[in-house]
Chains A and B, each alone.
Chain A
Amino acid sequence: MRAKAGHLLTVLLLPVTLPVLWWVASSRSSTPYYPPLQEILRGFRAVWTREQLAGELVPSLVSLVVGFAVAVAVGVGGGVALGLSDRLRRDVRPLTEFLRAMPVVALIPIALVLLGPGMRMEIALIAFAACWPVLVSTADGVRAADEVMLDTARIFGVPPRRRLMHVVLPGAMPQVMAGARIAVAAAVGTMVVANMVASSAGLGYLVISAQQSFNVIETWAGLLMIGIVGSCMTSAVVLIERFVLRWHRRWRAQDVDT
């Protein structure tokens, strides 16, 4: 019980102490650029009215979720193909390395030209940025599929499709999920940047237009919301990971024990 309480304390230590510190440190601030946390929170409630949520937050969330889903689908599909075929991996590697090295921000102008401003472009950019971590780690996971497991399935006459779905993919799942976690950060970042540079709505747009009109409180309020969206998205992926890999954590723990 004490250990549990101790654990809870460490978990809450930073998330509780940092805001408290911020609150205290900023409470007497008189510079307009650095308003007290109390005012930011008041501003947060004022900014995020129902209309604002529908007008700025929802479009961003839709782009984020759809873009991320496309990224995972493309990343897993491509990763499986690359993981299964040594030849394909070798032949495609220069191209994937080139694209991976391309900063997504640099693609915004051309994306604007090709797709025009709006959600379609945002989704495309988010999907592009977020698919690489999933692709690379899925390919690694598929390549590392256990030969003994595969041989066992082959001898039992398990057809290739079923071997892929029931032996290779579950075995690669820890890597797939690790890639997805990294992809969340990439997706959120891309969403904000795309909003800022090339949109007339959304979280990033709200922050940058507030800043441009010297509305510091609103800038802070937007930033806070971006943080909340990011951590919610990460938590969602972690929850999915816990469900999908419920065997894996204990399995690994057991490996360490013995």
Chain B
Amino acid sequence: MTRPSTEPTVIRRKEVAVAGISESREDEFPSTSSETAQQPIGSTIVLEPRHLRVTYGKGSHAVTAIADITFQVRAGEFLSIVGPSGCGKTTLLKSLSGLLRPTSGDVLVNGTRVDTASQGLAMVFQEYTRSLLPWLSVRANVEFPLRGSRRTDGRKAVERRADEALAEVGLHGVGDKYPWQLSGGMQQRVAIARALAFRPTVLLMDEPFASLDAQARSDLEDLLLKVHLETGMTIVFVTHDIDEAVYLGDRVVVLSHRPTEVKASLDVDLPRPRDQIETKTLRRFVELRTEALGLVLAERSTEAPA
């Protein structure tokens, strides 16, 4: 089951069984992208870091966080990214979102080079308490990115989109509360709703469930799977939890330790919809997580001493 760890292992994805769940919610939550919900992953590449390299500092103090990262994310794909601790996952996400200009290499969104942080992407951070604005109500938080933006037209449309997004994450009727009046899991739902209402080309998620308790965490994993299924949204999900990566993703990209490269890309050929108990007892699930875990652990042991 072990693969050569020096170069990326790319396994062509097999068709994911999504045909059974079709067009149930399309009318309620129309997708912005050209493909409709529930379509199998398209061939269009929506996000592509190309030979991404990030170096902090200069001269002899320079630290290379990311050596060379290239991968492609297709429309509608759920891509999980895992790696050993401190491997520059956050740096990668910052580069993908345009917050951080890479030292060299490009990030392409829908084939166009990203140079600012407003390419129609959305991000859900781990620190929900710091990502939601505490002086705005839940509803106003969800509406915030839509207001004063060219992406939307009119107050009514903004309100409708916020309503739909809140309903999608199961938060009817809490719109008038402040985010900090809600539990951690609910706050992270608000952050997800805010991203959904924005209808991003790609939804980036930076260890979004890492600070939640186990119960809220598995609830939100399943909520995210439901949202992915119903909206057909493209999701890039960074996590340190390998079970979570395999359980959620269509594909798992394994990163090496610093300076970071793509070590492997595993296609997750598990049927959808997934189930916390059934999927996780499948032999294939166990194989995949063992493989991914092996790759990450191997990285940890070969890490150069600091």
A residues at B contact (CB < 8 Å): 146, 148-149, 151-159, 162, 166-167, 170-171, 173, 247-248, 250-251, 254-255
Is the CB–CB distance between A251 and B127 below 8 Å? no
Residue in B122, B130, B135, B181 whose beta carbon sits within 8 Å of that of A156 in the complex: B122
A residues within 8 A CB of B117? 151, 154-155, 157
Residue in A148, A166, A167 whose beta carbon sits within 8 Å of that of B125 in the complex: A148
Q: Mark B170-207, 1 if CB is under 8 A from A, else 0.
A: 00000000101100000000000000001000001000
Most buried by B among A158, A159, A248: A158
A121, B148: Cα distance in complex, Å: 42
The chain A residue with its CB closest to the CB of B148 is A162
Query: With A151-B99, A248-B135 in contact, is A146–B130 under 8 Å at CB?
Result: yes
Top-3 shortest CB links A-B: A157-B118, A156-B145, A148-B130
Is the CB–CB distance between B149 and A149 below 8 Å? no
Is the CB–CB distance between A154 and B180 below 8 Å? no
B80 within 8 A of A: no
B residues at A contact (CB < 8 Å): 94, 97-99, 117-123, 125, 127, 130-131, 133-135, 144-145, 148-149, 151, 178, 180-181, 198, 204
Q: Chain A nearest CB: distance from B258 CB in Å? A: 22
The chain A residue with its CB closest to the CB of B97 is A155
Is the CB–CB distance between B99 and A149 below 8 Å? no
> How many residue pairs bridge A and B at CB < 8 Å?
68
Is the CB–CB distance between A251 and B149 below 8 Å? no
Q: List 26 A-B contacts (CB under 8 A).
A: A146-B130, A148-B127, A148-B130, A149-B131, A151-B123, A152-B125, A152-B131, A155-B97, A155-B99, A155-B118, A156-B118, A156-B122, A156-B145, A156-B149, A157-B117, A157-B120, A158-B144, A158-B145, A159-B148, A166-B133, A166-B144, A167-B133, A247-B134, A251-B134, A251-B180, A254-B181
A251, B148: Cα distance in complex, Å: 27
A158, B143: Cα distance in complex, Å: 12
A residues within 8 A CB of B133? 149, 166-167, 170
Is the CB–CB distance between B125 and A247 below 8 Å? no
Is the CB–CB distance between A155 and B178 below 8 Å? no
Q: Chain A nearest CB: distance from B186 CB in Å? A: 14
Q: Chain B nearest CB: distance from A157 CB in Å? A: 3
The chain A residue with its CB closest to the CB of B181 is A254
| Given A155-B97, A173-B135: 6 more A-B contacts, CB < 8 Å | A148-B130, A149-B131, A155-B118, A156-B149, A156-B198, A157-B117
